[in-house]
Amino acid sequence: MRDSTSHKLTTSDFDFALPLELIAQHPAAERSASRLLDGSGSAPVGRVFRDLPGLLQPHDLLVFNDTQVVKARLFGHKPTGGQLELLVERVLEDGTVAAHMKASKKPPVGTVLHMAGGFEAELLGRWPDPHQGPLFHLRFSGEPYALMAAHGHVPLPPYIQHTDSAADEARYQTVFAQHPGAVAAPTAALHFDQPLLATIAARGVQRAAVTLHVGAGTFQPVKTESLAEHVMHRERYHVPATTQAAIAACRARGGRVVAVGTTSVRTLESWAQSDSAQGDTGIFITPGFEFRVVDALITNFHLPRSTLMMLVSAFAGYEHVMTLYRHAIAQRYRFFSYGDAMWLTRRASP
């Protein structure tokens, strides 16, 4: 491995070989029964996720992402009979949608698509640029969230090989999801169940929520070798006034702000950086980033060459994180959305 103190990190530095059998295809039998790799010290310590309360202090504040995953994957066909698939990335304010489309040949603007379940989707153009936007702009013949709930499929990540089931509908969702709009779960939060939350509350740890509607871009590897050339995807976020007050109170009592997942980190640091409590964020956190809010992090294991690997390395130190990943692979931890988790505290990163 290269010494990050002697050269500028590139995308290749965040690559690693992962045995395919370590990619979790199903969640643990119980949410809080997943393994938890404690990376807060100089040497990794293996724990179980329900041990988390022992790592928290009574004055700490846990910040969750309360987004709700919608059944955003829809199937249909073109008037010519050709099959297609939509993945709704965003429901827009006017009730239209922006979506990814898979089809052998993309239909022209004005085409009316016939969707499974009996509704129609009119192709209006591209989004956000009507001519060259990366997403397709469509109008459904009904309320989008209701149609997705009735006819959609759980948008499981591309590395999960099975089709979605009733079990996925329950488990690829946090127990406190409130605001629909995500096409991917805030996966670190999937480990929390009600008994664990009750134990955490009994310890005197406070809770607060932010919302970041996770987009499909979270699964995309960085394709440029230079980090500076990568164009980050954008996601909607909101930091409520109650959460802002809870963070201020946490600081006043000497507690730590503990982000549950990288999406909570991106939301909190976007707010701190922009001084805006809501909007679209394209924040790209890489080693050298100055964190203003988050002191500790609960996170799953991430894809090689991904922006999330870069974020975690910025937070806990590049060399330290790569050491933890090698340990996790050697100890057969389960990776990605349905996999195990890590506990990290902030440290200086070159």
**pLDDT per residue over 244-268, tens digit each?**
999 999 999 999 999 999 999 999 9
Q: What is the DSSP letter of 106?
A: P
Interval 273-302: pLDDT, tens: 999 999 999 999 999 999 999 999 999 999
Interval 161-214: pLDDT, tens: 999 999 999 999 999 999 999 999 999 999 999 999 999 999 999 999 999 999
pLDDT band, residue 6 (cuts 50/70/90): very low
List of domains in the chain? 11-69+168-345 (3.40.1780.10), 73-151 (2.40.10)
Average pLDDT of the residues in 47-65 = 98
DSSP 138-197: EEESS-HHHHHHHH-B----TT--SPP-HHHHHHSS-TT--EEEESS--GGGGG--HHHH
Strand-pairing partners, residue 37, are 46, 342
For residue 244, the surrounding DSSP H or E stretch is helix 241-252
pLDDT band, residue 69 (cuts 50/70/90): very high
pLDDT over threshold 90, residue 4: no
Task: Give me the pLDDT at residue 2, please.
Answer: 46
Question: How many Å apart are CA 291 and CA 233, to the nearest integer?
Answer: 20
pLDDT over threshold 60, residue 349: no
Average pLDDT, the chain: 95
Distances (CA, A) of 119 to 74, 100, 141: 11, 18, 6
pLDDT band, residue 132 (cuts 50/70/90): confident
The phi and psi torsions of 199 (rounded to 5 degrees) equal -65, -40
pLDDT over threshold 80, residue 348: no
Task: Give me the pLDDT at residue 221, please.
Answer: 87
- Token pair of 323 as six digits: 């050491």
Distances (CA, A) of 78 to 7, 85, 196: 51, 10, 48
Range name among 12-16, 45-49, 132-136, 316-320 with the lowest pLDDT average: 132-136
Task: Give me the pLDDT at residue 131, please.
Answer: 85
Task: Give me the pLDDT at residue 7, please.
Answer: 67
Residue 129 makes CB contacts below 8 A (sequence gap 6+) with none
Task: Give me the pLDDT at residue 121, please.
Answer: 98
Task: Give me the pLDDT at residue 220, please.
Answer: 86
